Amino acid sequence: MAAFDAVFVGLTILDIAGRPVIDIPPRGGVAFIEQIRLNPAGTAAGANINAAKLGIRTAAVACLGEDEKADFILASYARLGIDCSLIQRTAQQETSATILPIRPNGERPALHCRGASDALFVSEEEFDAILDCRFLHHGGSGLLAAMDRGQSALLLRAAKARGVVTSFDLIAPNENTLELLRSLLPSVDYFMPSLEEASYLSGRTDPADIARFFFELGVGTLHSEGWRKRLVAADRRRWHRTYRGVSGQCRGYHRLRRQLLRRLYCRAGPRVKHQRGVRGGFRRRRAGGDRDGIGCRRGGLAAYAGLYGGKPARIKSFAAASRGGKSGLAPLIE
């Protein structure tokens, strides 16, 4: 039996979010807002937290500084039962962090300090410990300087060689990102950029063309979400687009029993609630009293599609559930 259900490698930061922020006061002025929150975040940490809330046995692989930001992240992980034994610490750089002045319309401009995430490096000697899992999520390429020099590709290839299901996410792509991805994506079962990121990287706007572009690079399944719509393409053959507020039927969730380990199903099932939503579908409700819901667009997919949906070749399509901009996923199994 694997030591972990899922291991999450990569970008782990502290978000300092304030809302609503209309503008920044001039000079040394003061403005009053409704809320300021601290959250562990990042394309690895966010998915990890979502999975842990579902009761999945997870571990984090990240690099943090020796500072108060790292202490907050580690304390949050401890409360969720996330294994931190694989986390690296450095006194040379501070913990990566982002200030988010959230606008009234929900836009989230970011002020980011790259910090210790650039120092994360996983050697081949550590692969055995990291890949003692069923599912590996890698997040943050482009903001992981040491891993971006080829080590991320080695880790993902090693995961596939051992039969580990892999997912991959990124943030803030630039003109150099596509070349970085060419060595990574052939080892990725589930690729989860935003729809805007996918369009930027591919140079295409039509969802079917975007899907074909990434399939040609070797991706198994593509999940993208934009402001108004979602694109999910699976098996390198079919693509499926859903619009915000449209979701799959609840029976799709229960069909997962066909490939679930019963122990995991029984653990996750009581944590997931549904409420009747628009257009006859179901919206995913918050789980276990959690204020933020059970899944963001990427973490929800990471938890459901990989751990609860089996191998990518078995997945025909997805229907996304939406509530307040956060989504879970209900895979429909062939």
> What is the SS3 assignment for 20?
coil
pLDDT in tens, 90-139: 999 999 999 999 999 999 999 999 999 999 999 999 999 999 999 999 99
For residues 25 and 250, which has the higher predicted lDDT (pLDDT)?
A: 25
Q: What is the pLDDT of residue 232?
A: 66
pLDDT in tens, 160-193: 999 999 999 998 899 999 999 999 999 999 998 8
Confidence of residue 37 (pLDDT cuts 50, 70, 90): very high
For residues 151 and 321, which has the higher predicted lDDT (pLDDT)?
A: 151
Answer yes or no: is pLDDT of 74 > 90. Answer: yes
Answer yes or no: is pLDDT of 315 > 50. Answer: no
Q: What is the pLDDT of residue 226?
A: 60
Q: What is the mean pLDDT of the chain?
A: 77
Strands ordered across the beta sheet of 97-101: 35-41, 13-19, 97-101, 111-113
CA 303 → CA 53, 231, 329, 331, distances in Å? 10, 18, 9, 11
Q: What is the pLDDT of residue 274?
A: 40
In degrees rounded to 5, what are phi and psi of residue 188?
-110, 125
Q: How far apart are CA 173 and CA 175, in angstroms?
A: 7
CA 171 → CA 28, 43, 112, 141, 276, distances in Å? 32, 7, 12, 8, 33
Instruction: Report which of 192, 189, 183, 187 is spatially closest to residue 220, judged by C-alpha positions.
Output: 189
In percent, how much of the chain has pLDDT > 70? 67
Q: Which fold has domain 4-188?
A: UDP-N-acetylmuramoyl-L-alanine:D-glutamate ligase (3.40.1190)
Cα dihedral 184, 186, 191, 196 in deg (nearest 10): 70
Confidence of residue 235 (pLDDT cuts 50, 70, 90): low
Cβ 279 vs Cβ 242: under 8 Å: no
For residues 95 and 325, which has the higher predicted lDDT (pLDDT)?
A: 95
Determine the number of helices (DSSP H) and then strands (DSSP E) in the chain.
10, 18
Q: How far apart are CA 207 and CA 192, in angstroms?
A: 14
Q: What is the pLDDT of residue 225?
A: 67
Q: What is the pLDDT of residue 230?
A: 59
Mapping DSSP onto H, E and C, the string for 33-102 reads CCEEEEEEECCCHHHHHHHHHCCCCEEEECEEECCHHHHHHHHHHHHHCCECCCCEEECCCCCCEEEEEC
For residues 245 and 205, which has the higher predicted lDDT (pLDDT)?
A: 205
**Which stretch of DSSP H or E encloses residue 253?**
helix 250-254
Cβ 109 vs Cβ 20: under 8 Å: no
pLDDT in tens, 262-293: 444 444 444 444 433 333 333 333 333 333 33
Return the domain boundaries, the chain: 4-188, 243-333
Q: How far apart are CA 248 and CA 318, in angstroms?
A: 8
Tokens coding 175? 């003109």
Mean pLDDT of 298-304: 42
**Which stretch of DSSP H or E encloses residue 129?**
helix 127-130
Confidence of residue 206 (pLDDT cuts 50, 70, 90): confident
Q: What is the pLDDT of residue 128?
A: 96
Confidence of residue 257 (pLDDT cuts 50, 70, 90): very low
pLDDT in tens, 15-28: 999 999 999 999 99
Mean pLDDT of 298-325: 36
Confidence of residue 221 (pLDDT cuts 50, 70, 90): confident
In percent, how much of the chain has pLDDT > 90? 60
Q: How are beta strands 274-276 and 282-284 bridged, if at all?
A: antiparallel
For residues 248 and 95, which has the higher predicted lDDT (pLDDT)?
A: 95
Answer yes or no: is pLDDT of 202 > 80. Answer: yes
Cβ 152 vs Cβ 184: under 8 Å: yes
